[in-house]
Structure 1
Amino acid sequence: MKIDIYTIIGIVLGFTLFIGLVIYFFQHKFFFHAEMLPPDFKFAYDNLKAEEVIVEPEPGAKINYLHFIVDQPKGVVIYLKGNTKSIKGWGKFAIDFTRLGYDVIMMDYRGFGKSTGKRTVEAMKRDCQFIYDLVKKQFSEESIVVYGRSLGSGFAARLAAKNNPRLLILTSPLYSLLRTIHRYLPFMPAKPFLRYNIPTFHYLKNVRCPIKIIHGSDDGLVPLSTAVDLSEINPDLTRLYVILKAGHINIHQFEEYHRVMEEIFNERNVPIDPEKTSIGYSHRN
C-alpha cells in the first residue's frame, strides 16, 4: 500500500496536535506534584521555631506559609520551593538559613499543603509578590534575600526583578518550563500549548542585585549547562557555584553546598584594582 506525502503530513500533524493537547490539559500534573494537608495539621520541626500563618491575597484564595524565627535576625530569606510535596517536608530546609542568623519565610503554592485557590501562573506570581510585600512590613529590602530552588527559581527571579532585595540565590534553577519540555520533546512546538511557562532567563535580565547560582555537576534533571546559560545573562552581577557530584534533589546533602552558603551570606564585596592583579597579563610577552 502506497502512502502519499499528504497522508504522512496529516499523520505527523495529527500526532503533534495530540501531544500538544496532552501537554495543554495535563501539564499541571507534569509540573506540580502537590501534597495537600488537612486544615488541622500541626507543623513541627526539630531545632526550628516556626509560626504558621494563613493569608488571603485575593478572594477565593488562601496562602499558607511558615515563618521560621531566630533571635535578633540579620535579615530574612523568602524561600520559594520546588514543585513537589508541601512545606510540611520542605520546612526542614529552613535550618540552612536559621543557622546563619536569618529568619525564613516559606510558602505553599496554591493547591499545595493548606493553600487553596485556582492555580494559574499569573495567580502564583501575584501570591509571591503578596508575600514579599508582607515581608517588607517587617524587614527592610536591604535585609531580604530571595531564594528559589528548582521550579521556585523562576518565581524568585521574578521577585528580584520586580523589587529590590539584597540578594538573589537560585539553586538547581530551570531556564524555563518551555526549555524543559523541549529537552524531552525536541520535535514539539510546545509554546502554543504551554500555560505554566516561567521564564527564569527573562527575569534575570532585569535583576539589579547580586545573583548567586548553585548547581550540581551531576544534575540529571536540569543539566549544568542550564546554570551556565543563566549565569551569562547578567554576568556582571552573577556568580556560579558548581557542587561536584551533586544531583538535582540531593544537592543539600553535600558539605560544599553549605560552605557556599556561608560564603554567600558572609560575603563582602571588595573592589578589585586591575592594576594590582594579573588581569592585564598575557602569555605572549
Structure 2
Amino acid sequence: MPYWLSTLLLILAIYMAISIVLYYLQDYMLFKPEKLPSDYQFNYENQDIKEYNLKTRDGAVINGLRFFPKGESRGVVLYLKGNSKSIKGWGKFAVDFTRHGYNVLMVDYRGFGKSTGKRSQKAIKRDLQLVYNKLKELTTEDRIILYGRSLGSGFATKLASMNNPKMLILDAPYYSLTKVTARYAPFMPLSLLLKYPLPTYKWLKYVECPIHIIHGTHDKLIPYKSSVKLAQINGERTKMHTVIGGGHKNLNNFEAYHKMLDDILNNEPKPIDLETTSINVKHSSKKSKKQA
C-alpha cells in the first residue's frame, strides 16, 4: 500500500474515532448538571417559595420552584436556566422578577437537580410544553412571560413559537447551538453529530409576541454578534438591549441590566402615529448644485 494512502486511511480513522466520541459523549460535554437528593429542602432568604413535581407521560419527574412576589401578582415568568448546576443556585435570580410583582417558575431539565428521565432535545421540549400547559390552567397567556437564559434561550424561543405568551426575553442567546459548538470543533460535521442543534434562528421567525434580547458586548462563550443576527430575523417585534462590557455570566452585576429589565417589565409600548414622524423623508443621493 502506498505511503500516502496508508496516511490518508489513518487520518480518516482518527477523524471517525473523534466523531464517534463526540457523538456519544456530547451530553457530558454540553451539560453540567448538579443532582440533588429527593429529600433536599430548598431555602432562600426573604423568598416565599413552593415546590412542584410534574410527572411526564414517559414516567420522568420534572421538579420546579415557584417564587411568590410581595403583594398582588402581575403574572408569571417562566425562567428557563442555563446548562449548569440546578435551580438550587439559579433561584437567587428570581428576585429580579418578584420585585416587579411577578411570580417566577423555575424548572430543572431532566437529569438536573431533582428532575429525572432520559434527556434529549425532543424530551426537554415536550417537558417544557407540559409545564407551559399547566401554567395556562392557572392564568391566561397574556400574563405569561418566557425568559430564556443561555441554553434556555433556545427552548424559550421554541415555546414562544408554539404558544402566545405576553413576551419573550432572551438573555445571552445563541443563533443555534451548532454554531456555538462549531467554534471549538470547526472541522467536525457537527450538523450531523449534534443531538441538541437548538436552531433558535428557525424558531424565532414564528414568534408573534414582543421579543427582547439582552446581551453583553464582552461575552466570550456566545458572541454578542449572535444576538445582532437574531434581532434581524423578526425585526418588527424585536428590541435589542446591550450591556456594555457585560460577559456571559455577570450581566446581573451591571446596573444597566437591571434598568433594562425595569424598562422591559414596567413600560408598556405606546403606539406611534407614523404620519407625524420623518419616516417617509428620503435623503437625497445627489449633491445639490450650487446656484450661480
TM range (shorter): over 0.9
User: Under a length normalisation based on structure 1, what TM-score does the superposition of the two structures give?
Assistant: 0.95
User: Under a length normalisation based on structure 2, what TM-score does the superposition of the two structures give?
Assistant: 0.93
Matched, 1:227 2:227: yes
2:253 aligns to what?
A: 253
CA distance in structure 2 between the partners assigned to 1:207 and 1:214 by the alignment: 17
**Counterpart residue identity of residue 137, structure 1:** E
1:214 aligns to what?
A: 214
Q: Structure 2: any 5+ residue segments left out of the alignment?
A: none
SS at 1:158 equivalent: helix
- Give the alignment of 1:93-132 within 5 angstroms: 93-132=93-132
- Give the alignment of 1:135-284 within 5 angstroms: 135-284=135-284
Pairwise CA distance, 1:252: 1.1
**Counterpart residue identity of residue 79, structure 1:** Y
SS at 1:236 equivalent: coil
2:24 aligns to what?
A: 25
Pairwise CA distance, 1:168: 0.3
CA distance in structure 2 between the partners assigned to 1:62 and 1:174 by the alignment: 28
Pairwise CA distance, 1:12: 3.6
CA distance in structure 2 between the partners assigned to 1:221 and 1:131 by the alignment: 29
SS at 1:148 equivalent: strand
Higher mean Cα deviation, 194-203 or 136-145? Answer: 194-203
2:15 aligns to what?
A: 16
Pairwise CA distance, 1:30: 1.2
SS at 2:65 equivalent: strand
2:65 aligns to what?
A: 66
Pairwise CA distance, 1:283: 4.9
CA distance in structure 2 between the partners assigned to 1:122 and 1:272 by the alignment: 41
Higher mean Cα deviation, 83-92 or 70-79? Answer: 70-79
Post-superposition Cα deviations, 1:109-141, rounded to whole Å, max 9, x if no partner, equal 011000001111111111100100111111100
Matched, 1:35 2:8: no
Pairwise CA distance, 1:20: 1.4
CA distance in structure 2 between the partners assigned to 1:19 and 1:228 by the alignment: 33
CA distance in structure 1 between the partners assigned to 2:184 and 2:273 by the alignment: 46
Pairwise CA distance, 1:94: 0.4
Pairwise CA distance, 1:100: 0.6
CA distance in structure 1 between the partners assigned to 2:260 and 2:211 by the alignment: 13
Matched, 1:57 2:64: no
**Counterpart residue identity of residue 54, structure 2:** V
SS at 1:212 equivalent: strand
Q: Structure 1: any 5+ residue segments left out of the alignment?
A: none
Pairwise CA distance, 1:165: 0.3
CA separation of 1:209 and 1:16: change in aligned 2, threshold 3 A: same
CA distance in structure 2 between the partners assigned to 1:231 and 1:12 by the alignment: 41
Higher mean Cα deviation, 163-172 or 179-188? Answer: 179-188
**Counterpart residue identity of residue 257, structure 2:** Y
**Counterpart residue identity of residue 32, structure 1:** F
**Counterpart residue identity of residue 64, structure 1:** N
CA distance in structure 2 between the partners assigned to 1:107 and 1:273 by the alignment: 42
CA distance in structure 1 between the partners assigned to 2:48 and 2:96 by the alignment: 13
CA distance in structure 2 between the partners assigned to 1:266 and 1:126 by the alignment: 31
Higher mean Cα deviation, 204-213 or 260-269? Answer: 260-269
Matched, 1:84 2:84: yes
CA distance in structure 1 between the partners assigned to 2:206 and 2:283 by the alignment: 37
CA distance in structure 2 between the partners assigned to 1:3 and 1:278 by the alignment: 71
SS at 2:263 equivalent: helix
CA distance in structure 2 between the partners assigned to 1:178 and 1:15 by the alignment: 22
Post-superposition Cα deviations, 1:216-258, rounded to whole Å, max 9, x if no partner, equal 0000000001001111111111111110000000111101101
Identity %: 47
Pairwise CA distance, 1:40: 1.2
SS at 2:91 equivalent: helix
Moved over 4 A (4+): none
After superposition, the CA RMSD in angstroms is: 1.5
Q: Quick check: which has more Rg, 1 or 2?
A: 2
